[in-house]
Amino acid sequence: MVTTPVPGPPLRVRLPAVNPAVLRFLANEAGSAVFLLAGTVLALVWANSPWAHTYTSLWSTTAGFHLGSLGLDLDLHHWVNDAAMAVFFLVVGLEINREVTSGELRSRRTVAVPALGALGGLVVPALIYLAFNGGTAAAHGWGIVMSTDTAFLVGVLALFGPACPDRLRLFLLTLAIVDDIGAITVMAVFYTKHVDVAALVLAGVVVVAILAMRWLGVWQLAPYVVAAIGLWFAVQASGVHPTLAGVLIGLLVPSRRSRHELVEDVVRYAERLAHDTSAQGEHLTELAARAAVPPSDRLQRVLHPWSAYAVVPVFGLANAGVRLDLETLRSAASSPVTIGIAVALLAGNTIGIFGASTVAIRAGLGVLPGRVRYGHLLGGAVLAGIGFTISLFIVDLAFTDATLVEQAKIGVLTGSLIAAVLGSILLRIFGERLPLCSPESDGPPPSLPPRPWLAPAT
């Protein structure tokens, strides 16, 4: 990791520096996954400790605000799942927006194999889950098994993947993005219980206003942030899950590269500032620099560290606290819900992703990036069975019965853990026997997408 100097004069007193190795760890994909894992483990320990009642009482504590007759009251669990997770989905939307505009999702040949693999990873797990639970009250939970957790997937790949994981990471990241699109669509269509038409119309008006700002060329972030807050309240009142407001904002914020003349303006204003160091010159140079960078990139730079290192770990802490006493585990071991979810996550993703990707390759619809082998594809498909964040999210949307919720969460945790361990082992085996790095004679590797999940260099 290259360290970029921070502008500005140093402090008179030097503070103790953080170990560069620690900064490098926190700045890669594994850092975010470890924070999420820590929140999950803490939730499980807390929920199974003598102080388990404080875990339940904390997340059921009500908080809100009022302005005259208007106001909103939610318990802390819903503030995390409905409000804070909107930031997570906004970052997902920004990543999809960037990939479609200037990333890997622009190329049909590049995206065909992971896209069809993601489709297999959506359909096959759902069918396997329904094979266990079709015709029962638990059938509504089929969407739980349709999502791959990007943070854990890429984090585990960084920690335990083959020696040269970049091309495999490119494939799995593209697959996870397409997978997120499918999972978000399923949430919007199949897990909305009731709709308030008036609030939905208001949300539509806000969306039109955002599109108008895009057309007018608004590049300042403040108008989009105000619109995002308004859209969240409108969607929350409509009955559609409010986190979908985050996805919409992420998809709608402008992401196209700036015109060359805007970049040249930065140089001109900077040269003026060098000759006349004034507050006005500094302000104009700052505005020129902001106008030269797409709003989506600036918004993602601000929000992604909060999403990766605060929102998602807190979500794990708020949702992974499941009682694991002997009676609960005995009941889960024979529950079609628990077994169906665990099998669907592991076997469904392996069969669906590997099978659909193989068909796409054999049919000539696309190719694997670089020199990724079928063995790496198999290990990556198993690893994609880690369905943590959005899976736990959909559990609370699909079930209201406390027993079903408990059994479903155990299924998600079990299936994700087995997928992580087995996928890591397979990638280690195939990574040693099937070298992933291409020889120099094969030409340069394909370009990798930027890593928006990285913390900004300091």
Highest mean pLDDT among 29-38, 80-89, 222-231, 308-317: 222-231
| Each residue's pLDDT tens digit, 160-217 | 666 555 667 777 877 887 887 788 788 878 887 778 889 889 999 999 999 999 999 8
Q: Is the pTM of this model over 0.85?
A: no
| Crossing angle for the helix pair 389-398 and 312-319, to the nearest 10 degrees | 50
Query: How many Å apart are CA 389 and CA 424, to the nearest integer?
Result: 19
Nearest to 156 by CA among 452, 353, 431, 371: 431
CA distances from 278 to 7, 121, 212, 282, 453 (A): 17, 57, 35, 6, 35
Considering only residues 439 and 149, tell me which one the structure prediction assigns the higher pLDDT.
Answer: 149
Q: Which amino acid is at 413?
A: L
Query: How many Å apart are CA 220 and CA 298, to the nearest integer?
Result: 10
Highest mean pLDDT among 94-108, 281-295, 329-343: 329-343
Kindly state the average pLDDT of the residues 108-115. 79
Does the pLDDT value for residue 3 go beyond 90?
no
Structure-token match 């928006």, residue found: 452
| Each residue's pLDDT tens digit, 370-392 | 667 788 888 889 999 988 878 88
Token readout for 352 is 């669906």
